[in-house]
Amino acid sequence: MDEFHIEGGFRLEGDVPVNGAKNAALPILIAALLVEEGESVIRNVPDLRDIHSCLEVLGHLGVESEFDLEHSTVTLDASSLDSFEAPYELVQKMRASFLVMGPLLARLGQARISLPGGCAIGSRPVDQHRKAFRAMGASFEDEGGYMLGTAKPLSGATIFFDRPSHTGTENVIMGAVLAEGTTTIVNAACDPEVSDLARSLRAAGANIAGEGSTEIIIEGVKRLQPLDYAVMPDRLEAATFLIAGAITGGRVTVRGARANDLGLVLSKLSEMGVEMTSTAESVTAGIDGRPESTVITTYPFPGFPTDLQAAIMALTSVAEGTSVIRETVFEDRFLHVAEMARLGAEIRTVGDEATVIGVEHLSGASVMASDIRAGAGLVLACLAAEGESVITRVYHIDRGHERVEERLRSLGARITREG
Ligand code: EPU
């Protein structure tokens, strides 16, 4: 199993390009399932473990795909879809596989998907997905860890989500584009990746309005043309590089980052004393000395992203003063706290709240990544920690950050991957 070896305490300087967004690429690749004839072309797809897992699930369903790694382009042909099952071995690798539910119900009228189960950040039920498809005329039976859905055909309905679900909204959008009639999603997720999915489908002939707001309206159409779309830049990766600049007292420019997708994050960094500049092509973060403390509550978009909670916690751990971070999206997303403590961070958690007493220096230690974003937070903390650190279970980080060590090295980080 690969490890990262990091010698911390060095300023990062320079610029780095941002990749396509994993959480937009996944639903857009899966949306190709909806296309009955012709080849879909998806560009700006990052070369990540999760993307390969997604292509494996699609392959299992009978979709032919090819990933041109040199050009970050995936071509997909779903004309000979011959299965409606996503098996446990595949869904277990990546829970976003559950997104095939909507397209399969829409195209084949049935889907048998392994229930995703919990993961390192919480129990993560799928009740909102199920409730939405029920409202659209589907019925479900659970058996042996699988959810068998049938719908002949899916029909439009008004869906009231109890809470905004990111992939829940995407799943319903994909089910609704080929359903009969109009579907309205009330309390929809407003995340930029949801909007990117909507734009990719609209370009293929879908009738969708209101994405980016809490109410999305989809008018079913008979068929879609093949998708031809370039995935949006990854806001989470962009923010991770920006925080890498700030935590090392350096200055990092992320080329291709979109400031609009990072509104509250940039504003919080700026409140912490990080100098932020954005242009149409890039965002830059720089700071001399230590950042100031802050108060953060994670919340669905446009709130502060839960996916950046570990990263911002790393930054607050070296801030001047005491910060408070509340996690309201997932019930169990503080696994990185004990690892950061091994690096000398002073963090106390009570329930969903972490109090972080900033220290002047972190110091190198061996730590373990528990999920993609906790792993990225640990990389950041180790970049700031003086001396040598080792991060194990790097495969978690590889699920969401492409060759992060090479890209950090290009900014002056001393990080190597050891097999
Ligand atoms: N929830 C329910 N019932 C549901 C669906 C969600 O109770 O049917 C709860 C969840 O348990 C959680 C909250 O609602 O407490 C929000 O979950 P959401 O459904 O929005 O999360 P998701 O769609 O499963 C996506 C991202 C996650 C990201 C969250 C929150 C993808 C593939 N995944 O997950 O990304 O943390 O939204 O923004 O888009 C990651 O990339 O590392 C990652 C975990």
Q: Which class for 56: exposed (0-12), middle (13-18), buried (19 or more C-beta within 10 A)?
A: middle
The per-residue pLDDT for 207 is 98
> What is the distance between the alpha carbons of residues 99 and 77, in angstroms, rounded to a whole number?
18
Q: Residues 381-392: what's their mean pLDDT? A: 98
> What is the distance between the alpha carbons of residues 147 and 125, in angstroms, rounded to a whole number?
13
> Closest residue (by CA) to atom 33 of ligand 1?
23
> Closest residue (by CA) to atom 2 of ligand 1?
125
Task: Assign 120 a pLDDT band (cuts: 50, 70, 90).
Answer: confident
Any ligand 1 atom below 6 A from CB of 306: yes
Any ligand 1 atom below 6 A from CB of 163: yes
Q: Is the pLDDT of residue 118 over 70?
A: no
Q: Residues 381-399: what's their mean pLDDT? A: 96
Q: Residues 42-60: what's their mean pLDDT? A: 96
Q: Could you tell me how far CA 94 lies from the centroid of its own chain?
A: 12
* Average pLDDT value over all residues in the chain: 96
Task: Assign 62 a pLDDT band (cuts: 50, 70, 90).
Answer: very high
Angstrom distances, CA of residue 86 to CA of 96, 117, 166, 400: 11, 14, 20, 21
How remote is the CA of residue 79 from the centroid of ligand 1, in Å?
Answer: 30
Angstrom distances, CA of residue 87 to CA of 110, 136, 145, 148, 255: 14, 24, 10, 12, 39
- 235, 240, 246, 248: CA torsion to nearest 10: -160
* Tens digits of residue pLDDT in 302-334: 999 999 999 999 999 999 999 999 999 998 899
Do β-strands 366-368 and 387-392 pair in parallel, antiparallel, or remain unpaired? parallel
> Closest residue (by CA) to atom 13 of ligand 1?
329
Task: Assign 22 a pLDDT band (cuts: 50, 70, 90).
Answer: very high
Any ligand 1 atom below 6 A from CB of 231: no
> What is the distance between the alpha carbons of residues 254 and 18, in angstroms, rounded to a whole number?
6
Task: Assign 83 a pLDDT band (cuts: 50, 70, 90).
Answer: very high
Q: Which helix (H) or strand (E) holds 158?
A: strand 158-160
Q: Residues 217-226: what's their mean pLDDT? A: 98
Ligand 1 mutation target, pool 26, 307, 371, most atoms within 8 A of CB: 307
> What is the distance between the alpha carbons of residues 286 and 243, in angstroms, rounded to a whole number?
9
Q: Is 119 a catalytic residue?
A: yes
Atom of ligand 1 nearest to the CA of 130: 8
> What is the distance between the alpha carbons of residues 182 and 221, in angstroms, rounded to a whole number?
10
* Tens digits of residue pLDDT in 406-417: 999 999 999 999
Tokens representing residue 276 in the block? 């932020």
Q: Residues 28-50: what's their mean pLDDT? A: 97
* Tens digits of residue pLDDT in 241-261: 999 999 999 999 999 999 999
The structural domains of the chain, ordered by start, are 3-19+233-418 (3.65.10.10), 22-230 (3.65.10.10)
Q: Is the pLDDT of residue 57 over 90?
A: yes
> What is the distance between the alpha carbons of residues 100 and 84, in angstroms, rounded to a whole number?
9
Q: Is the pLDDT of residue 13 over 80?
A: yes
Q: Could you tell me how far CA 333 lies from the centroid of its own chain?
A: 15
* Its pTM surpasses 0.75: yes
Q: Residues 190-211: what's their mean pLDDT? A: 98
Peptide bond into 164 cis (omega under 30): no
> Closest residue (by CA) to atom 16 of ligand 1?
165
* Tens digits of residue pLDDT in 124-177: 889 999 999 999 999 999 999 999 999 988 999 999 999 999 999 999 999 999
Q: Which class for 222: exposed (0-12), middle (13-18), buried (19 or more C-beta within 10 A)?
A: exposed
Ligand 1 mutation target, pool 166, 193, 332, 372, most atoms within 8 A of CB: 166
Angstrom distances, CA of residue 101 to CA of 106, 107, 128, 306: 9, 10, 13, 25
SS3 state at 413: coil
Check the CA dihedral 10-11-17-21 and report its sign: positive
Ligand 1 mutation target, pool 23, 48, 54, 240, most atoms within 8 A of CB: 23
> What is the distance between the alpha carbons of residues 256 and 279, in angstroms, rounded to a whole number?
10
How remote is the CA of residue 227 from the centroid of ligand 1, in Å?
Answer: 25
Tokens representing residue 7 in the block? 């010698």
The per-residue pLDDT for 121 is 77
> Closest residue (by CA) to atom 41 of ligand 1?
23
Task: Assign 381 a pLDDT band (cuts: 50, 70, 90).
Answer: very high
Spot the catalytic one: 54, 119, 190, 382: 119
